[in-house]
Amino acid sequence: MAQFVRSLAQKAPALLNAAVTYSKPRLATFWHYARVELVPPTPAEIPKAIQSLKKVIESAKTGSFKQLTVKEAMLNGLVATEVWMWFYIGEIIGKRGIVGYDV
């Protein structure tokens, strides 16, 4: 056990280096996409969002959503599911625990 800890401490800088070299390009890719896709809406975009919401409600009222193809409807369902999952991620952050409430 002591030998393992010692050899680990000796290798630690090399391991850290390897980890950093491995993750740098991947982090760069992630950042490249996240900077466009995962940013919160700017205040200028909120009126546009409300317009889109109005359109969705209109299509529900007039029944024009029935004109969607099945593929489009499925994609919309997937997007809605993803948006709903963010709620659960927020709940995890709020309750400061991954599974269950740690009371």
Partner 1 sequence: MAHALSWLHRLGCTSGAKVADKMVPPVQVSPLIKLGRYSALVLGMAYGAKRYSYLKPRAEEERRVAAEEKKRLDELKRIERERAEAQDDSIFK
Where on the chain is the footprint of partner 1 (CB under 8 A)? Answer: 3-4, 7, 11, 14-15, 18-19, 21-22, 24-26, 29, 32-33, 35-37, 39-41, 45-46, 48-49, 52-53, 56, 79, 82-84, 86-96, 101, 103
Distance (Å, whole) CA 23 – CA 35: 18
CA distance 46 to 54: 12
State in angstroms the smallest separation of the CB of 52 from partner 1: 4
Q: How far is CA 38 from CA 22, 33, 68, 71, 97, in A?
A: 23, 8, 27, 24, 23
In the complex, what is the shortest distance from the CB of residue 66 to partner 1, in angstroms, rounded to a whole number?
20
d(CA 1, CA 7): 10
The minimum distance between CB 60 and partner 1, in angstroms, equals: 14
Q: Least distance to partner 1 from the beta carbon of 71, Å? A: 17
One-letter amino acid of 102:
D
Closest CB to partner 1 among residues 18, 74 = 18
